[in-house]
Amino acid sequence: MRGLPNSIQARDVEYVLHPVTNARKHEEIGPIVIDRGEGIYVYDDQGNRYIEALAGLWSVAVGFGEKRLVEAATRQMAKLPYYHTFSHKTNEPSVLLAERLVKMAPDRLKRAFFANSGSEANDSVIKMVWYYNNARGLRQKKKFIARTNAYHGITLASGSLTGLPANQRDFDLPFVPVRHVTCPHHYRFAEPGESEEAFADRLAAELEAVILEEGPETVAAFIGEPLMGAGGVLPPPATYWNKIQAVCRKYDVLIVADEVINGFGRLGTMFACDYYGIDPDILVLSKQITSSYQPLAAVMISQELYDGIADNSAKIGTFGHGFTTSGHPVPAAVALENLDIIEEKNLVENARRMGEVMQAELRKLADHPLVGEVRGIGLIAGVELVADKETKAKFDPVGKIGAQVFARAHENGLIIRAIGDVIAFCPPLIINEEQIHDMVRRFKLTLDETAQELLNRDVASL
Protein backbone atom coordinates (compact mmCIF):
# COMPACT_ATOMS: atom_id res chain seq x y z
CA MET A 1 0.00 0.00 0.00
CA ARG A 2 1.12 3.57 -0.72
CA GLY A 3 2.41 5.49 2.30
CA LEU A 4 4.06 4.74 5.60
CA PRO A 5 2.27 3.88 8.86
CA ASN A 6 0.45 6.95 10.23
CA SER A 7 0.81 8.71 6.85
CA ILE A 8 -2.19 10.44 5.28
CA GLN A 9 -2.52 7.43 2.97
CA ALA A 10 -2.63 4.98 5.89
CA ARG A 11 -5.05 7.15 7.87
CA ASP A 12 -7.28 7.48 4.80
CA VAL A 13 -7.50 3.69 4.53
CA GLU A 14 -8.20 3.47 8.25
CA TYR A 15 -10.98 6.06 8.45
CA VAL A 16 -12.53 6.98 5.07
CA LEU A 17 -15.19 5.20 2.99
CA HIS A 18 -14.67 6.40 -0.58
CA PRO A 19 -17.46 6.95 -3.11
CA VAL A 20 -17.53 4.90 -6.33
CA THR A 21 -14.56 2.81 -5.18
CA ASN A 22 -13.79 -0.85 -4.50
CA ALA A 23 -13.27 -0.57 -0.74
CA ARG A 24 -11.23 -3.78 -0.35
CA LYS A 25 -8.96 -2.90 -3.25
CA HIS A 26 -8.52 0.55 -1.73
CA GLU A 27 -7.29 -1.09 1.48
CA GLU A 28 -4.62 -2.84 -0.58
CA ILE A 29 -3.33 0.01 -2.71
CA GLY A 30 -4.27 3.15 -0.75
CA PRO A 31 -4.92 6.59 -2.27
CA ILE A 32 -2.92 9.06 -4.30
CA VAL A 33 -3.02 12.21 -2.18
CA ILE A 34 -3.63 15.27 -4.36
CA ASP A 35 -1.98 18.17 -2.61
CA ARG A 36 -2.48 21.25 -4.80
CA GLY A 37 -3.55 22.42 -8.24
CA GLU A 38 -2.52 25.02 -10.78
CA GLY A 39 -4.24 25.60 -14.11
CA ILE A 40 -4.85 22.26 -15.84
CA TYR A 41 -2.39 20.49 -13.50
CA VAL A 42 -2.60 18.90 -10.07
CA TYR A 43 0.27 17.74 -7.87
CA ASP A 44 0.38 14.85 -5.43
CA ASP A 45 2.04 14.97 -2.02
CA GLN A 46 5.23 13.52 -3.56
CA GLY A 47 5.52 16.46 -5.95
CA ASN A 48 4.45 14.55 -9.07
CA ARG A 49 2.58 16.68 -11.61
CA TYR A 50 -0.41 15.40 -13.61
CA ILE A 51 -2.49 16.85 -16.42
CA GLU A 52 -6.00 16.67 -14.96
CA ALA A 53 -7.71 15.56 -18.16
CA LEU A 54 -11.12 15.19 -16.53
CA ALA A 55 -11.14 18.60 -14.77
CA GLY A 56 -11.62 16.80 -11.44
CA LEU A 57 -15.02 15.25 -12.08
CA TRP A 58 -16.02 17.03 -15.32
CA SER A 59 -16.12 20.30 -13.44
CA VAL A 60 -13.15 22.68 -13.01
CA ALA A 61 -13.87 25.03 -15.92
CA VAL A 62 -11.46 27.84 -15.00
CA GLY A 63 -8.67 25.54 -13.81
CA PHE A 64 -7.18 24.87 -10.41
CA GLY A 65 -5.79 27.57 -8.13
CA GLU A 66 -7.85 30.43 -9.58
CA LYS A 67 -7.26 33.20 -7.04
CA ARG A 68 -10.28 35.23 -8.09
CA LEU A 69 -12.59 32.49 -6.88
CA VAL A 70 -10.71 32.22 -3.58
CA GLU A 71 -10.98 35.98 -3.13
CA ALA A 72 -14.70 35.98 -3.99
CA ALA A 73 -15.33 33.34 -1.35
CA THR A 74 -13.19 35.18 1.19
CA ARG A 75 -15.00 38.49 0.65
CA GLN A 76 -18.40 36.87 1.05
CA MET A 77 -17.28 34.84 4.08
CA ALA A 78 -16.21 38.08 5.75
CA LYS A 79 -19.47 39.86 4.94
CA LEU A 80 -22.14 37.15 5.32
CA PRO A 81 -20.71 33.62 5.68
CA TYR A 82 -24.10 31.94 5.70
CA TYR A 83 -27.79 32.60 5.60
CA HIS A 84 -30.81 30.63 4.48
CA THR A 85 -33.53 31.46 1.96
CA PHE A 86 -36.50 30.02 3.87
CA SER A 87 -39.47 32.09 5.08
CA HIS A 88 -39.07 35.18 2.87
CA LYS A 89 -35.33 35.65 3.58
CA THR A 90 -32.74 36.16 0.86
CA ASN A 91 -29.21 37.38 0.22
CA GLU A 92 -27.76 39.47 -2.57
CA PRO A 93 -25.46 36.87 -4.24
CA SER A 94 -28.23 34.28 -4.64
CA VAL A 95 -30.59 36.87 -6.14
CA LEU A 96 -27.95 38.14 -8.57
CA LEU A 97 -27.06 34.60 -9.58
CA ALA A 98 -30.68 33.61 -10.19
CA GLU A 99 -31.18 36.72 -12.34
CA ARG A 100 -28.03 36.01 -14.31
CA LEU A 101 -28.90 32.38 -14.94
CA VAL A 102 -32.40 33.26 -16.14
CA LYS A 103 -30.94 35.76 -18.61
CA MET A 104 -28.39 33.17 -19.84
CA ALA A 105 -30.69 30.15 -20.07
CA PRO A 106 -33.12 29.14 -22.85
CA ASP A 107 -36.05 31.55 -23.11
CA ARG A 108 -38.67 29.24 -21.61
CA LEU A 109 -36.86 29.19 -18.23
CA LYS A 110 -37.78 31.99 -15.83
CA ARG A 111 -36.96 30.91 -12.24
CA ALA A 112 -34.06 29.31 -10.38
CA PHE A 113 -34.09 27.01 -7.37
CA PHE A 114 -30.75 26.30 -5.66
CA ALA A 115 -29.44 23.02 -4.25
CA ASN A 116 -25.97 21.70 -3.41
CA SER A 117 -25.33 18.99 -6.02
CA GLY A 118 -26.66 17.52 -9.21
CA SER A 119 -28.15 14.63 -7.26
CA GLU A 120 -30.06 16.98 -4.95
CA ALA A 121 -31.13 19.04 -7.95
CA ASN A 122 -32.61 16.02 -9.74
CA ASP A 123 -34.30 14.89 -6.52
CA SER A 124 -35.83 18.36 -6.46
CA VAL A 125 -36.93 18.00 -10.09
CA ILE A 126 -38.87 14.83 -9.26
CA LYS A 127 -40.60 16.50 -6.32
CA MET A 128 -41.37 19.66 -8.29
CA VAL A 129 -42.89 17.69 -11.16
CA TRP A 130 -45.04 15.64 -8.79
CA TYR A 131 -46.10 18.75 -6.87
CA TYR A 132 -46.93 20.55 -10.12
CA ASN A 133 -48.98 17.68 -11.53
CA ASN A 134 -50.84 17.23 -8.26
CA ALA A 135 -51.66 20.94 -8.41
CA ARG A 136 -53.04 20.39 -11.93
CA GLY A 137 -55.20 17.54 -10.68
CA LEU A 138 -53.10 15.03 -12.67
CA ARG A 139 -52.33 12.78 -9.72
CA GLN A 140 -51.48 9.76 -11.86
CA LYS A 141 -48.94 11.66 -13.99
CA LYS A 142 -45.84 10.72 -12.00
CA LYS A 143 -43.63 8.42 -14.11
CA PHE A 144 -40.26 9.46 -15.53
CA ILE A 145 -38.58 8.18 -18.67
CA ALA A 146 -34.78 8.11 -18.75
CA ARG A 147 -32.21 6.21 -20.86
CA THR A 148 -29.92 3.25 -20.25
CA ASN A 149 -26.37 4.48 -19.54
CA ALA A 150 -27.77 7.79 -18.25
CA TYR A 151 -26.36 9.41 -15.12
CA HIS A 152 -28.60 11.73 -13.11
CA GLY A 153 -27.27 11.35 -9.60
CA ILE A 154 -26.75 8.88 -6.81
CA THR A 155 -29.43 9.50 -4.15
CA LEU A 156 -32.54 7.31 -3.85
CA ALA A 157 -34.60 9.38 -6.28
CA SER A 158 -31.95 10.66 -8.69
CA GLY A 159 -30.22 7.27 -8.56
CA SER A 160 -33.46 5.75 -9.81
CA LEU A 161 -33.25 7.93 -12.92
CA THR A 162 -29.64 6.90 -13.47
CA GLY A 163 -29.37 4.04 -15.95
CA LEU A 164 -26.05 2.50 -14.88
CA PRO A 165 -26.30 -0.93 -13.23
CA ALA A 166 -23.37 -0.39 -10.85
CA ASN A 167 -25.14 2.61 -9.33
CA GLN A 168 -28.34 0.64 -8.68
CA ARG A 169 -27.20 -2.89 -7.87
CA ASP A 170 -27.87 -3.89 -4.24
CA PHE A 171 -29.24 -0.43 -3.43
CA ASP A 172 -32.81 -1.61 -4.19
CA LEU A 173 -33.15 0.93 -6.99
CA PRO A 174 -35.10 2.21 -8.81
CA PHE A 175 -37.05 3.75 -5.95
CA VAL A 176 -39.32 5.99 -8.02
CA PRO A 177 -41.44 5.03 -11.06
CA VAL A 178 -39.15 5.18 -14.09
CA ARG A 179 -38.77 3.46 -17.44
CA HIS A 180 -35.41 3.35 -19.20
CA VAL A 181 -35.36 3.45 -23.00
CA THR A 182 -32.52 2.79 -25.45
CA CYS A 183 -29.28 4.73 -25.11
CA PRO A 184 -28.79 6.94 -28.22
CA HIS A 185 -25.31 5.60 -28.99
CA HIS A 186 -25.17 4.64 -32.67
CA TYR A 187 -21.87 2.71 -32.45
CA ARG A 188 -23.23 0.25 -29.88
CA PHE A 189 -27.00 0.21 -30.32
CA ALA A 190 -27.76 0.79 -34.00
CA GLU A 191 -28.92 -2.20 -36.02
CA PRO A 192 -26.63 -3.44 -38.84
CA GLY A 193 -26.70 -0.94 -41.69
CA GLU A 194 -28.94 1.49 -39.80
CA SER A 195 -28.12 5.14 -40.46
CA GLU A 196 -27.98 7.69 -37.65
CA GLU A 197 -31.18 9.26 -38.98
CA ALA A 198 -32.99 5.92 -39.02
CA PHE A 199 -31.61 5.14 -35.56
CA ALA A 200 -33.00 8.44 -34.23
CA ASP A 201 -36.37 7.68 -35.84
CA ARG A 202 -36.43 4.26 -34.17
CA LEU A 203 -35.63 5.71 -30.73
CA ALA A 204 -38.34 8.36 -31.07
CA ALA A 205 -40.81 5.64 -32.05
CA GLU A 206 -39.68 3.59 -29.03
CA LEU A 207 -40.29 6.55 -26.72
CA GLU A 208 -43.78 7.02 -28.12
CA ALA A 209 -44.52 3.31 -27.74
CA VAL A 210 -43.40 3.38 -24.09
CA ILE A 211 -45.55 6.44 -23.34
CA LEU A 212 -48.57 4.74 -24.91
CA GLU A 213 -47.84 1.48 -23.10
CA GLU A 214 -47.60 3.22 -19.72
CA GLY A 215 -50.47 5.56 -20.53
CA PRO A 216 -49.82 9.25 -21.34
CA GLU A 217 -51.87 10.20 -18.28
CA THR A 218 -49.18 8.53 -16.10
CA VAL A 219 -45.99 9.82 -17.77
CA ALA A 220 -44.74 13.09 -16.29
CA ALA A 221 -41.31 13.80 -17.77
CA PHE A 222 -38.48 12.68 -20.02
CA ILE A 223 -35.03 13.41 -18.55
CA GLY A 224 -31.80 13.30 -20.50
CA GLU A 225 -28.29 14.65 -20.64
CA PRO A 226 -28.01 16.39 -24.02
CA LEU A 227 -24.66 14.60 -24.41
CA MET A 228 -24.37 11.68 -22.01
CA GLY A 229 -21.29 11.91 -19.80
CA ALA A 230 -20.67 9.30 -17.13
CA GLY A 231 -22.25 6.59 -19.27
CA GLY A 232 -19.27 6.82 -21.64
CA VAL A 233 -19.36 10.25 -23.37
CA LEU A 234 -22.18 9.49 -25.82
CA PRO A 235 -23.24 12.18 -28.31
CA PRO A 236 -26.65 11.40 -29.83
CA PRO A 237 -27.45 11.50 -33.55
CA ALA A 238 -27.85 15.06 -34.86
CA THR A 239 -31.65 14.93 -35.16
CA TYR A 240 -32.31 12.84 -32.06
CA TRP A 241 -33.38 15.64 -29.72
CA ASN A 242 -35.73 17.26 -32.24
CA LYS A 243 -37.53 13.94 -32.67
CA ILE A 244 -37.65 13.23 -28.92
CA GLN A 245 -39.03 16.70 -28.16
CA ALA A 246 -41.80 16.28 -30.73
CA VAL A 247 -42.97 13.08 -29.00
CA CYS A 248 -42.85 14.69 -25.56
CA ARG A 249 -44.88 17.73 -26.64
CA LYS A 250 -47.47 15.47 -28.28
CA TYR A 251 -48.23 13.76 -24.95
CA ASP A 252 -47.73 16.61 -22.43
CA VAL A 253 -44.50 15.07 -21.16
CA LEU A 254 -42.13 17.61 -19.63
CA ILE A 255 -38.60 17.84 -21.04
CA VAL A 256 -35.81 17.89 -18.44
CA ALA A 257 -32.32 18.70 -19.74
CA ASP A 258 -29.65 17.55 -17.30
CA GLU A 259 -26.65 19.77 -18.03
CA VAL A 260 -24.73 19.03 -14.84
CA ILE A 261 -21.76 18.04 -17.05
CA ASN A 262 -22.65 19.81 -20.32
CA GLY A 263 -23.38 23.29 -19.02
CA PHE A 264 -21.32 26.50 -19.16
CA GLY A 265 -19.32 25.91 -22.32
CA ARG A 266 -18.30 22.26 -22.37
CA LEU A 267 -19.60 21.62 -25.92
CA GLY A 268 -18.43 24.99 -27.24
CA THR A 269 -21.81 26.63 -26.60
CA MET A 270 -22.93 28.09 -23.29
CA PHE A 271 -25.41 25.26 -22.86
CA ALA A 272 -25.74 21.99 -24.73
CA CYS A 273 -29.39 22.93 -25.22
CA ASP A 274 -28.08 25.63 -27.57
CA TYR A 275 -26.00 23.06 -29.47
CA TYR A 276 -28.84 20.55 -29.94
CA GLY A 277 -31.78 22.97 -30.19
CA ILE A 278 -33.44 21.73 -26.99
CA ASP A 279 -36.24 23.85 -25.50
CA PRO A 280 -36.55 22.36 -22.01
CA ASP A 281 -39.20 22.86 -19.36
CA ILE A 282 -36.52 22.23 -16.73
CA LEU A 283 -32.75 22.70 -16.90
CA VAL A 284 -30.41 21.22 -14.27
CA LEU A 285 -27.01 22.82 -13.67
CA SER A 286 -24.07 22.17 -11.35
CA LYS A 287 -20.31 21.38 -11.49
CA GLN A 288 -18.96 24.15 -13.78
CA ILE A 289 -21.34 26.71 -12.25
CA THR A 290 -18.63 27.28 -9.58
CA SER A 291 -15.91 25.18 -11.23
CA SER A 292 -16.72 22.96 -8.21
CA TYR A 293 -14.79 25.30 -5.90
CA GLN A 294 -18.01 25.35 -3.87
CA PRO A 295 -20.98 22.92 -3.87
CA LEU A 296 -23.89 24.41 -5.81
CA ALA A 297 -26.59 23.34 -8.23
CA ALA A 298 -29.50 25.12 -9.88
CA VAL A 299 -32.85 23.92 -11.19
CA MET A 300 -34.21 26.29 -13.83
CA ILE A 301 -37.96 26.04 -14.47
CA SER A 302 -40.46 27.52 -16.90
CA GLN A 303 -42.96 30.20 -15.98
CA GLU A 304 -45.73 27.62 -16.40
CA LEU A 305 -44.16 25.31 -13.81
CA TYR A 306 -43.45 28.22 -11.49
CA ASP A 307 -47.06 29.41 -11.67
CA GLY A 308 -48.38 25.93 -10.92
CA ILE A 309 -46.02 25.54 -7.96
CA ALA A 310 -46.66 29.07 -6.67
CA ASP A 311 -50.44 28.71 -6.89
CA ASN A 312 -50.30 25.40 -5.03
CA SER A 313 -48.05 26.87 -2.33
CA ALA A 314 -50.69 29.57 -1.81
CA LYS A 315 -53.43 26.96 -1.68
CA ILE A 316 -51.79 24.67 0.91
CA GLY A 317 -49.69 27.31 2.67
CA THR A 318 -46.13 26.50 1.59
CA PHE A 319 -43.81 24.97 -0.96
CA GLY A 320 -42.46 22.49 1.56
CA HIS A 321 -39.12 21.72 -0.06
CA GLY A 322 -35.62 23.12 0.31
CA PHE A 323 -32.23 22.69 1.95
CA THR A 324 -30.42 24.43 4.79
CA THR A 325 -27.93 25.77 2.26
CA SER A 326 -30.28 26.51 -0.68
CA GLY A 327 -29.02 29.80 -2.06
CA HIS A 328 -25.99 29.84 0.26
CA PRO A 329 -24.31 33.24 -0.27
CA VAL A 330 -20.72 31.93 -0.52
CA PRO A 331 -21.21 29.44 -3.38
CA ALA A 332 -23.45 31.99 -5.12
CA ALA A 333 -20.70 34.65 -4.90
CA VAL A 334 -18.14 32.15 -6.23
CA ALA A 335 -20.50 31.22 -9.09
CA LEU A 336 -20.89 34.86 -10.09
CA GLU A 337 -17.12 35.33 -10.19
CA ASN A 338 -16.69 32.03 -12.05
CA LEU A 339 -19.18 33.14 -14.70
CA ASP A 340 -17.35 36.46 -14.97
CA ILE A 341 -14.12 34.57 -15.70
CA ILE A 342 -15.80 32.32 -18.27
CA GLU A 343 -17.14 35.38 -20.08
CA GLU A 344 -14.08 37.63 -19.75
CA LYS A 345 -11.68 34.93 -20.94
CA ASN A 346 -14.08 33.82 -23.67
CA LEU A 347 -13.82 30.25 -22.45
CA VAL A 348 -16.90 29.05 -24.33
CA GLU A 349 -15.23 30.01 -27.59
CA ASN A 350 -11.96 28.55 -26.34
CA ALA A 351 -13.79 25.28 -25.69
CA ARG A 352 -15.09 25.32 -29.25
CA ARG A 353 -11.68 26.05 -30.82
CA MET A 354 -9.62 23.85 -28.54
CA GLY A 355 -12.33 21.22 -28.77
CA GLU A 356 -11.77 21.01 -32.51
CA VAL A 357 -8.06 20.46 -31.85
CA MET A 358 -8.67 17.83 -29.15
CA GLN A 359 -11.21 15.93 -31.23
CA ALA A 360 -8.90 15.93 -34.26
CA GLU A 361 -5.89 14.78 -32.24
CA LEU A 362 -7.79 12.00 -30.48
CA ARG A 363 -9.27 10.82 -33.79
CA LYS A 364 -5.75 10.23 -35.06
CA LEU A 365 -5.75 7.32 -32.60
CA ALA A 366 -8.72 5.65 -34.34
CA ASP A 367 -6.35 3.23 -36.11
CA HIS A 368 -4.68 2.14 -32.86
CA PRO A 369 -5.18 -1.60 -32.33
CA LEU A 370 -6.95 -1.02 -28.99
CA VAL A 371 -9.34 1.71 -30.17
CA GLY A 372 -12.85 0.97 -31.41
CA GLU A 373 -14.36 4.46 -31.50
CA VAL A 374 -13.34 8.04 -30.73
CA ARG A 375 -16.28 10.35 -30.06
CA GLY A 376 -17.16 13.67 -28.51
CA ILE A 377 -17.97 17.35 -29.04
CA GLY A 378 -16.03 20.38 -27.84
CA LEU A 379 -13.88 19.68 -24.81
CA ILE A 380 -15.44 16.35 -23.91
CA ALA A 381 -14.47 13.07 -25.58
CA GLY A 382 -14.51 9.33 -25.12
CA VAL A 383 -12.13 6.71 -26.53
CA GLU A 384 -13.67 3.24 -26.47
CA LEU A 385 -11.21 0.35 -26.19
CA VAL A 386 -12.20 -2.94 -27.82
CA ALA A 387 -10.79 -6.44 -28.11
CA ASP A 388 -11.67 -6.65 -31.82
CA LYS A 389 -12.01 -3.58 -34.03
CA GLU A 390 -13.98 -5.34 -36.76
CA THR A 391 -16.63 -6.96 -34.57
CA LYS A 392 -16.56 -4.27 -31.85
CA ALA A 393 -16.16 -7.11 -29.35
CA LYS A 394 -15.56 -5.89 -25.80
CA PHE A 395 -12.76 -7.05 -23.56
CA ASP A 396 -13.62 -9.80 -21.11
CA PRO A 397 -14.10 -8.83 -18.38
CA VAL A 398 -15.24 -5.32 -19.26
CA GLY A 399 -13.22 -2.73 -17.37
CA LYS A 400 -10.01 -4.67 -16.85
CA ILE A 401 -8.14 -2.98 -19.71
CA GLY A 402 -9.67 0.40 -18.86
CA ALA A 403 -8.35 0.07 -15.31
CA GLN A 404 -4.93 -0.87 -16.67
CA VAL A 405 -4.87 2.19 -18.93
CA PHE A 406 -6.10 4.39 -16.06
CA ALA A 407 -3.27 3.21 -13.78
CA ARG A 408 -0.54 3.46 -16.42
CA ALA A 409 -1.68 6.96 -17.39
CA HIS A 410 -0.83 8.09 -13.85
CA GLU A 411 2.71 6.86 -14.43
CA ASN A 412 2.80 9.09 -17.50
CA GLY A 413 1.55 12.14 -15.60
CA LEU A 414 -2.02 11.99 -16.85
CA ILE A 415 -5.29 11.67 -14.92
CA ILE A 416 -8.14 10.33 -17.04
CA ARG A 417 -11.43 8.56 -16.28
CA ALA A 418 -11.98 4.91 -17.12
CA ILE A 419 -15.69 4.17 -17.59
CA GLY A 420 -15.45 0.44 -18.07
CA ASP A 421 -13.21 0.36 -21.14
CA VAL A 422 -14.10 3.88 -22.30
CA ILE A 423 -11.45 6.50 -21.52
CA ALA A 424 -13.03 9.90 -20.92
CA PHE A 425 -11.48 13.32 -21.48
CA CYS A 426 -12.96 16.57 -20.17
CA PRO A 427 -10.09 19.01 -19.47
CA PRO A 428 -10.52 22.49 -17.98
CA LEU A 429 -11.89 25.03 -20.44
CA ILE A 430 -8.69 27.08 -20.10
CA ILE A 431 -6.56 24.43 -21.84
CA ASN A 432 -4.42 25.62 -24.76
CA GLU A 433 -3.29 23.90 -27.95
CA GLU A 434 0.19 23.01 -26.70
CA GLN A 435 -1.31 21.39 -23.60
CA ILE A 436 -3.78 19.40 -25.71
CA HIS A 437 -0.94 18.00 -27.80
CA ASP A 438 0.92 17.08 -24.60
CA MET A 439 -2.19 15.44 -23.15
CA VAL A 440 -2.81 13.32 -26.25
CA ARG A 441 0.88 12.44 -26.52
CA ARG A 442 0.84 11.07 -22.97
CA PHE A 443 -2.34 9.15 -23.75
CA LYS A 444 -0.89 7.62 -26.92
CA LEU A 445 2.18 6.55 -24.97
CA THR A 446 -0.12 4.95 -22.40
CA LEU A 447 -2.05 3.09 -25.11
CA ASP A 448 1.16 1.89 -26.77
CA GLU A 449 2.55 0.62 -23.48
CA THR A 450 -0.71 -1.14 -22.67
CA ALA A 451 -0.84 -2.77 -26.11
CA GLN A 452 2.73 -3.99 -25.66
CA GLU A 453 1.88 -5.45 -22.26
CA LEU A 454 -1.05 -7.33 -23.77
CA LEU A 455 1.16 -8.62 -26.59
CA ASN A 456 3.85 -9.78 -24.15
CA ARG A 457 1.19 -11.49 -22.06
CA ASP A 458 -0.19 -13.30 -25.13
CA VAL A 459 3.28 -14.42 -26.18
CA ALA A 460 4.05 -15.66 -22.67
CA SER A 461 0.88 -17.73 -22.65
CA LEU A 462 1.86 -19.64 -25.82
Q: How many domains does the chain have?
A: 2
Task: Tell me if 331 sits within 8 A of 295, measured CB to CB.
Answer: yes
Q: Residue 1: inside a domain, yes or no?
A: no
Q: Residue 23: inside a domain, yes or no?
A: no
Percent helix, strand and coil across the chain, each rounded to 5? 45, 15, 40
Give pLDDT, residue 459: 63
List the one residue out of 176, 134, 185 whose CA is nearest residue 152.
176
Please say which residue of 309, 344, 379 terminates a domain. 344
pLDDT exceeding 90 applies to what percent of the chain? Answer: 97
Give pLDDT, residue 457: 80
Give the residue-averaged pLDDT of 270-294: 98
Give pLDDT, residue 331: 98
pLDDT at position 170 over 70:
yes
> What are the pLDDT digits (tens) for 206-259?
999 999 999 999 999 999 999 999 999 999 999 999 999 999 999 999 999 999
Beta partners for residue 255, in sequence order: 222
List the one residue out of 424, 372, 374, 425 whose CA is nearest residue 394.
372
What CATH code is carried by the domain that includes residue 374?
3.90.1150.10
pLDDT at position 15 over 90:
yes
What CATH code is carried by the domain that includes residue 256?
3.40.640.10
CA 398 to centroid of chain Cα atoms: 22
46 and 193 housed in the same domain: no
364 and 216 housed in the same domain: no
CA distance linking residue 130 with residue 453, whole number of Å: 53
CA-based torsion, 42, 48, 51, 55: positive or negative: negative
Task: Tell me if 416 sits within 8 A of 425, measured CB to CB.
Answer: yes
Q: Residue 26: inside a domain, yes or no?
A: no
> What are the pLDDT digits (tens) for 310-321?
999 999 999 999
Give the residue-averaged pLDDT of 126-134: 98
Q: Residue 12: inside a domain, yes or no?
A: no
DSSP symbols for 221-263? EEEE-SSB-TTT-BPPPTTHHHHHHHHHHHTT-EEEEE-TTTT
Confidence of residue 462 (pLDDT cuts 50, 70, 90): low
| Domain coverage including residue 413 | 32-62+346-461
pLDDT at position 461 over 70:
no
367 and 443 housed in the same domain: yes
CA distance linking residue 353 with residue 255, whole number of Å: 30
